[in-house]
Structure 1
């Protein structure tokens, strides 16, 4: 699911680079990696001979799923994995082929694909956040000593330096960047629980198989499945929404500064008005505010998606698919827009 969909609105609020991480190509590639890692894990505990495991892993590598058939079947099954596995089993053959998907369930593959998508998105957002902080540092070096009138409770207050306002933009972003290692630790974890969450089909081999799968995928094995405990994704969404809120504050400030006039800010570019040719609307600033407010509404849906009945919920899980990719896209679009906005600032404040 994508944020902007099709048409003119996609360029305003969507992020193709992030949306692609949740696309069919990325997800099916993740499914294949999981199945390959699972075969390696089963070979590790002796349930399949190593030559047979190597052959199966190679066959999985060459598998090209029929995406249209999977899309149709997903409407019936509620998930794409049953038909994916059916097609994969038809593709592979020979000794050990009956162990394809052994001990796993649909949620293991799909949640792990989401985890892998988020890991890629974290890399993208980290790079964009570093760029944004560099842009802020450049503004501070150029205009930080200029004078600006502070505004408290929407009323003129005392004069202070541009650097003081820029610090209120910069510090939350630095704190969010500092929390990235914890974010990765909390979210880059393998989902592996099997049919009812306890890996019972693997018996005493479960821990070794799980650790092997996690190692092959470059993830952490938390020691248990987490089918109905959605904390990792809620934690990730919360970080994203806090980031988009920090960006929204920058956008709100810039929009108000533009209203106050060139003693506060001088911007290049700006959006045109169909009725008033003299206007240069601060579109990038408005986008930051809108995207932040959008994410503020979506985080409540992530908390709704935490509520799973018994060992697994189809409805709560589906809601998560609808919401989490959109939060990711909105945050990514906000970071890109924020860097563009800062680069369009010609001057902040009045030289002392």
Structure 2
């Protein structure tokens, strides 16, 4: 369970804020939180002695304070996941409360539920940045509803548009991606099925314990255990990939419109060059594109890993952890850096008029302003 992020490049690529939500400490905390919640849920239905849960709580608090995640990561190698050594440590620390640790569960129950908790936290950060990007695009759309500009198709000048409509298109895509990601994340349920997904070890209270665990953690209740039914992970991967793509589209436009010979927009704090003092690089948009470029391959990895065999996967499940973590970092980085790019983006109507005059000196009327109004009125 190594720490996540990419070291000194994390702030540059915008992934540092999301990295803190999925790092080794966050993983350890989430795993322990699930184990404690499970002990409470099992006690509520008589599966374990309620008095023993206090011992589990104390043991969990001690491990949160003292256990080095790197130590647990090393111990995870033998069994293939960190829940096995964590449960062993919890039982040892709980003393007489040991029977109330990990009742009726399998390692995947704890791992998957902890992953859902981490995804929700990371998605909150990503959603905040996406919302800020969309708000900035909306402000640009409103301010430049009627600012004439040239539309470009296949890399060439096409017909007149307005910069407001360009920005409204950015806003619509970002809003759509944010809402879809939020919907997918909100639907991710608890995981609790026991060793073979039958809840046998919790009989006759298995479904009730699963529901109590979900309620205690603030997660949706499951219908059936989803140990090897991974459509939810595929939907999450797709939503994150789409969000990264929405950011990449806007960032690409900003990079192109910032070119010296175009000059229609400029970032508030452009980057410089180590050897060319005249350069004003749109570095936030550039690094947003860089982060977003990593997303498609990670989405493909997660979709390829959806073939979990039988009732517990030997490899595909394990492949999800780093791929999904990296995808959260990539999408989060794209949104964070695009936010920097769009907030305070400078718009140059004079340059737009100059470029427009190259092929369309007398723009004909269009519905550009009406379309801007429609986008802004229908924002979620």
Q: CA deviation at 1:181?
A: 5.0
Structure 1: gaps (5+ residues): none
- Distance in 2 (CA, whole Å) between partners of 1:42 and 1:267 is 55
Matched, 1:206 2:206: yes
- Distance in 1 (CA, whole Å) between partners of 2:3 and 2:348 is 36
- Distance in 2 (CA, whole Å) between partners of 1:162 and 1:246 is 18
- Distance in 2 (CA, whole Å) between partners of 1:42 and 1:129 is 39
Q: CA deviation at 1:169?
A: 0.7
Task: Identify if the C-alpha distance between structure 1 residues 84 and 282 changes in structure 2 by more than 3 Å, giving closer, same or farther.
Answer: same
Contact 1:2-1:14 at 8 Å conserved across structures: no
190-199 vs 23-32, greater mean Cα deviation: 23-32
Q: CA deviation at 1:92?
A: 0.7
- Distance in 2 (CA, whole Å) between partners of 1:128 and 1:66 is 31
Alignment of 1:67-146 (within 5 A): 67-94=69-96, 96-146=97-147
Contact 1:2-1:329 at 8 Å conserved across structures: no
Q: CA deviation at 1:216?
A: 0.8
Cα RMSD between the aligned structures?
2.2
Query: Any idea what SS the aligned residue of 1:256 has?
Result: helix
Partner residue of 2:167?
Answer: 166
52-61 vs 96-105, greater mean Cα deviation: 52-61
Contact 2:288-2:336 at 8 Å conserved across structures: no
- Distance in 2 (CA, whole Å) between partners of 1:311 and 1:348 is 59
333-342 vs 254-263, greater mean Cα deviation: 254-263
- Distance in 2 (CA, whole Å) between partners of 1:273 and 1:24 is 36
Q: CA deviation at 1:344?
A: 4.5
Query: Any idea what SS the aligned residue of 2:299 has?
Result: helix
What is the TM-score normalised by the length of structure 1? 0.91
1:200-222 per-residue CA deviation (whole Å, 9 max, x = no partner) reads: 11122101111111111111121
Q: CA deviation at 1:303?
A: 0.7
Query: Any idea what SS the aligned residue of 1:325 has?
Result: helix
Partner residue of 2:365?
Answer: none
1:128-160 per-residue CA deviation (whole Å, 9 max, x = no partner) reads: 222212212222233332111110111111121
Q: CA deviation at 1:324?
A: 0.7
172-181 vs 129-138, greater mean Cα deviation: 172-181
Query: Any idea what SS the aligned residue of 1:92 has?
Result: helix
- Distance in 2 (CA, whole Å) between partners of 1:315 and 1:82 is 17
Contact 1:2-1:325 at 8 Å conserved across structures: no
Task: Identify if the C-alpha distance between structure 1 residues 310 and 166 changes in structure 2 by more than 3 Å, giving closer, same or farther.
Answer: same
Query: Any idea what SS the aligned residue of 1:309 has?
Result: coil
Matched, 1:57 2:41: no
- Distance in 1 (CA, whole Å) between partners of 2:180 and 2:149 is 31
Contact 1:111-1:191 at 8 Å conserved across structures: yes
Structure 2: gaps (5+ residues): 354-380
Query: Any idea what SS the aligned residue of 1:158 has?
Result: strand
Partner residue of 1:148?
Answer: 149
What is the TM-score normalised by the length of structure 2? 0.85
Aligned length: 349
Query: Any idea what SS the aligned residue of 1:157 has?
Result: strand
Partner residue of 2:374?
Answer: none
Partner residue of 1:47?
Answer: 47
Q: CA deviation at 1:66?
A: 4.7
Contact 1:13-1:291 at 8 Å conserved across structures: yes
Matched, 1:289 2:289: yes
- Distance in 2 (CA, whole Å) between partners of 1:193 and 1:72 is 27
Query: Any idea what SS the aligned residue of 1:150 has?
Result: strand
Q: CA deviation at 1:260?
A: 6.1
- Distance in 1 (CA, whole Å) between partners of 2:154 and 2:100 is 65
Contact 2:18-2:126 at 8 Å conserved across structures: no
Partner residue of 1:333?
Answer: 333
Query: Any idea what SS the aligned residue of 2:104 has?
Result: coil
Query: Any idea what SS the aligned residue of 1:204 has?
Result: coil
